[in-house]
Structure 1
Amino acid sequence: MLAIALVTVGCSRPSTLQEIRSEGVLHVITRNAPSVYYEGRNGPTGYDYELVRLFADDLGVELKVRVADDNTGVLSVIDQDYAHIGLAGLADRPDFADRYHKVANGLKADSVVVYNRDTNRPDSVKDLEGQTLHLVADSNHEHQLKQLQSQNESLQWKVHSGLDAAGILARVESGEYPLAIVSSNELDLNHVFFPMVKSAFSLDDTADLVWLFPAEQDQTLAKAAESFISELRESGALAQISERFYGHLDRLNYVGARTFTHHVENRLPKYESLFRDYASSYDLDWRLLAAIGYQESHWRPNAVSPTGVRGLMMLTRATANHIGIKNRLDVEQSIQGGAKYLTMVHRKVPERIPEPDRTWFALASYNVGWGHVEDARRLTQGAGKDPDRWMDVKEFLPLLAQKEWYSKTRFGYARGHEPVIYVQNIRRYYDVLAWMTEPKEIAETPDKPWFKDLEGMEKIIRPSDAASQHETRASLPSELGLVPPTL
């Protein structure tokens, strides 16, 4: 009997956690979304991705991530036990009870009814009766609507399997969908890009968002993840990760002219000679270089972004290594690095594109990477518009945040609204700096390769005809711009 018992124990299957450590790989299935996972300027990022990457490091194993089309795909993979963890940005719900083990990821969200501000605001579920609500597939919202339908029989909704939250919000923005439901955290991340969208009320109380583990697994991995996240919470590291992705959202507001002019008077003089010297070394307009520095860090030499880029010009570690910068927090090295990198990305833009559009493309590439800019140019061309004209391409860059569009591109998801805002802000900062400098410097601008066509640039920044005035109002804020998204 003792021998039989020993054989039985010896043949028992190792735990899920033991298997992962033995194989040396943690398999994760996720989806593209700014709240979960996406390809950023410096590689993969996203709240859940950063968390699971740290978890894999803690386990001492390699992280392998696969990307599904949507929540439905994530749930299908977990249902079949084809991955260890599913990251879908969902809260627990009744149909998950026997399907998965769940671990809270440190974020909370609720289901928010949103509407177009040109329509009447609904104040309660009663006001939704007889109207169609739009939502993504396999969200947290549909089971709540089914529960409410028992008391509100005329509640109706439509599920869009081909759209994500950004796609839903874009249609509310345009008025195509008067009403929709999205998760509050996804609304927070996207709201600034859709000013016509307003929040009405929540359908439920806030709930924990969870990681999903196949029910076929034992709970050793789930318990390890729960313990790991708890340790991060206690140490304050979890709050820091949350700050990276959500802490800056309330800063994405227009800043006043007084703030900018105050910084011009009190901060810029400390660095102006460096901007002038290195702009001259790379044959740039120093005011353009200074405008980039302001957009990136508000001329703060010790700035550190949520994604780990540093210094006055906010260079990534990879970029700094590539261009030979040793210390990103050294002001002179940072400005020199910014000038060198700007020159490099400018050279990637086809020479056939005239100024100033070539510069606008270079600035967008400085922000989001040339690969994503090329994706937007291909989408622009596919729609029958001019991929060499910034005015056309900037309409398509935001589409890179919507699955129905980025799924057709080479480099996938990008926060495509940000390079548009980035370029708009720098144009505006440059405009003010040009206005505040001596006429002699303005006269010298045509000698700089960035603005060979000064007349063309003047038409964009200070238009005199009605058509170009319309373009300027569409692309430039009425005040001085937005606080940089990376701050």
Structure 2
Amino acid sequence: MHSSSTSGSRLSLHSFLNSHTTKAMVLATAFIPFHSINASKTNQYHSVVNSNTLNVVAVSDPSVVFKDGGFQHGFGYDLVSSYAENLNVKLNFKTVSSNEAAMKLVAQGKANFAITTADMNQIETQKLVAFSASCGEMNSLKKSGLNTNINWVFKRADDPLTETASGFVCQSKQNGQIKQLASFYNRNVVKQQDWNTIHRDLSKRMPIYKASLKKSAQKFDLDWHFLAAIGYQESYLKPDSVSPTGVRGIMMLTSSTANAMGVTNRSDPAQSIQGGAKYFDLMMTRYAHIPIQDRYWYALVAYNMGPGATDAVMQRLKAQGKNPNDWIQMYDYLNRHQSSNSRYRQAVQYVTRIRAYLEHIKSSPKLLQI
């Protein structure tokens, strides 16, 4: 546990949460409902209430967020998205290049709070307060290769927005959401020794199929790097790939899916990529009721094991009283049952590896220049 000093008469929330664990747990279990607070007695909370918008600024960091075409994802982003949904407000999310820039916007009142990787001395020097974005669930973050120093930074400790946020994060720890979220965003999904080969493959093959990937991505309003990541997971971007079950081509389409998508030659790279993009777009449309940051993962699961099997899992979640449209609930179910169901095991590996490939592309200057 860390200890923190006070800044003037202001108690550091980080010190409060870490030195008063019992009270932090009370906040978590007795989470303050959004409509039960008198908004007029505060500033940032009042701002959120009046604007119906939560303005969050975050440092660009792989453990916080990746910006990919039409959607954003990441451990930090997904957690704050859940908080905004809990408050029933819109999320306005912005990234900046440094912790200092993020904290400056909070200090100036231009952001309700910030997600940073700054240490507590840096934060307290700015006369701000912060708490761990994992409520102490450091082992889960560390095990998943995530930055354990992610924190939420606020202007005041006594602002009800700060209080509800700390309660939400600790509640998320208690109900397992943080552990599940860290598991999904595990940065060790691909073995370190394999990345050299993967990077070499992508560097060599992405340029060959770039035109087809970009054309199909544009047609279906997708990010072409996302399609490249799917193609690499499916076939290593090899158009002559054939599986023992008869699926073939870059996007490894079945004969029936290929026919339905208008593909006459599955081994033709351009046709395969367009057919795969069209089918993925159909899955995105099928799950259009799911928030965009989660919809991509549902569409990938459906692309891999079929929409019927995906819908069956969603029905089981609903029967268990869980939210079938919440990706973390979906992922947790697949993850927990993968040892007894090979389709679930394959789906978990499929989605997490595509996510890892996509993040590698987005964080590699050389690949981004292709």
| TM-score, normalising length: structure 2 | 0.45
| Structure with the higher fraction of residues in helix conformation | 2
Structure index of larger Rg:
1
| TM-score, normalising length: structure 1 | 0.35
